[in-house]
Amino acid sequence: MFKELFDKFGITLPAPLVKELEAHSRKQRQQPFFLKLMNIDGIVEVADFLSEMEVYQDILPLWTDDHSNYIGLYVGGACKYRICYINHEETDVAPAFRSIPSFIQRIELHPDLDWHELKKEYPSEAESGTAEMDEDLTCIAELELFLASNPSISDDVRCQSIFSIMALTPKSHLDSLLVYLEDEDMFVQERACEIFGFHCYMPAREQLIEVSNNGMHNGKLAAKNALAKIREKQAKDLNHGLFHHFAAVANTLNKRFNISPLLYGSLGLEALTKIPLYPEDIDLLIPLTFIRERWEELQSELEHQGYELIDRNEHEFSNGQHKIGFSHIEDLEEYAAIDSNDIEQRNYKGATFKLLNLEQYHRVYSRSLQDGYRIDTRGKKDAEKIKLIEGLLRAKKHT
């Protein structure tokens, strides 16, 4: 089938790739696929239609979703033998898969998935191997040479060539794309913002802020979305580090004082729900005796760990990056009717600690809304946490 097809179009395809397509064609006849390999007549018909448009000159459509969208193979040009998507509503022919084999492997593993549900190879979340990176950089160099040598090409061809460059660019070379944030083509500027957002690329932050304020219409919104993704990743990284700092302190309390601290507050709720709450400090509850009789021992140990006491009345320490506050666990009985013996014990990499469950957290934050000081300082945030907890409790009830 495929030899006849490629001969018809005057295309030369390496024999191993032809064999891959033939083997895949047999599998398509044996089981249903959401993305269907077209027959020769269907391929010829769509290819003839697409040949009238300049951006599709080097692309041969091979698969379809039966909704006038196609998956194409680059049979010429810098992106030769890579796979792209042909959307009937919006043109974007940037490569999404490195090769015929990698694309076939993905859809044979997930035959029921649509194109948009498949995990793509471009843009890549991880750095590729040396050989693959060299291939991509060579392709990018050819595309850049094409653009530099053809200043009079149509806006569509220029735009799609730049889309391909941005998709292929490895994470370690993203700085080369910063120039596109200032491009006069609004679609190029928009895509550059999307790429930096996809990679959560911090060095682009200042230029993204500029685009969000003064860019073209498409670019402004895309830049704001990219900045939101960067902020979210920063917060996640920070909070992941915050929990590790807590675990280190908990481990010290376990070994030095035989204390299993209760991880309280937003960091505790985040650890319980796995939902980002962006806590800024660590709140711990420990036995009252360490607040009253053994405070100096505790303070000395924390200072040995690099913390400095910054508020004696609030029992609060800081290491210059975050704060740790201590209170006594016995207070929970009176404050929120929680018996410390009913609190679950957890373990993280050898460190033991206590963690409230959803019902207990609901009691704590409900009680906090009656606390004059908390109402003035944290009332809105506490109310938001109660809403979150109640939603999780309802979902739990129906599972």
CB 196 within 8 A of CB 175: no
DSSP 98-128: S-HHHHHHHHHHSTT--GGGSPPSSS-SSPP
> Would residue 92 count as lying in a domain?
yes
CB 282 within 8 A of CB 267: yes
> Would residue 46 count as lying in a domain?
yes
CB 109 within 8 A of CB 120: no
φ, ψ for residue 41 (rounded to 5)?
-60, -40
Please choose, from the candidates 201, 203, 202, 220, the residue with its C-alpha nearest in 3D space to the C-alpha of residue 212: 220
> Would residue 175 count as lying in a domain?
no
- Of 104, 123, 142, which one is at a domain's C-terminal end? 123
> Would residue 186 count as lying in a domain?
no
Please choose, from the candidates 339, 298, 344, the residue with its C-alpha nearest in 3D space to the C-alpha of residue 317: 298
Bridge partners of 309? 317
H-only helix segments in the chain: 2-9, 15-30, 40-50, 100-109, 130-149, 155-168, 186-199, 205-214, 217-257, 265-273, 288-292, 295-304, 331-336, 358-368, 372-397
CB 283 within 8 A of CB 325: yes
CATH code of the domain in which 387 resides: 3.30.460.40
> Would residue 15 count as lying in a domain?
yes
Please choose, from the candidates 329, 238, 251, the residue with its C-alpha nearest in 3D space to the C-alpha of residue 283: 329
45's tokens? 């018909």
Counting every residue written for the chain, the total comes to 399
Q: What are the pLDDT tens digits along the chain (399 aa)?
A: 777 888 888 888 899 999 999 999 999 999 999 999 999 999 999 999 999 999 999 999 999 999 999 999 999 999 999 999 999 999 999 999 999 999 999 999 999 999 999 999 999 988 888 899 999 999 999 999 999 999 999 999 999 999 999 999 999 999 999 999 999 999 999 999 999 999 999 899 999 999 999 999 999 999 999 999 988 887 666 567 889 899 999 999 999 999 999 999 999 999 998 887 888 899 999 999 999 999 999 999 999 999 999 999 999 999 988 899 999 999 999 899 999 999 999 999 899 999 999 999 999 999 887 765 444 445 578 888 999 999 999 888 776
Q: Tell me how far apart the alpha carbons of residues 119 and 1 are, in angstroms, rounded to a whole number.
A: 29
> Would residue 202 count as lying in a domain?
no
- Of 91, 123, 155, which one is at a domain's C-terminal end? 123
Please choose, from the candidates 134, 124, 126, the residue with its C-alpha nearest in 3D space to the C-alpha of residue 167: 124
Name the DSSP class of 173.
G
Place of tokens 């895509």: 191
Range of the domain at 352: 259-397
Give the predicted TM-score (pTM) of the model: 0.66
How much is the pLDDT for 374? Answer: 46
- Of 108, 123, 138, which one is at a domain's C-terminal end? 123
- How many domains in the chain? 2
CB 372 within 8 A of CB 270: no
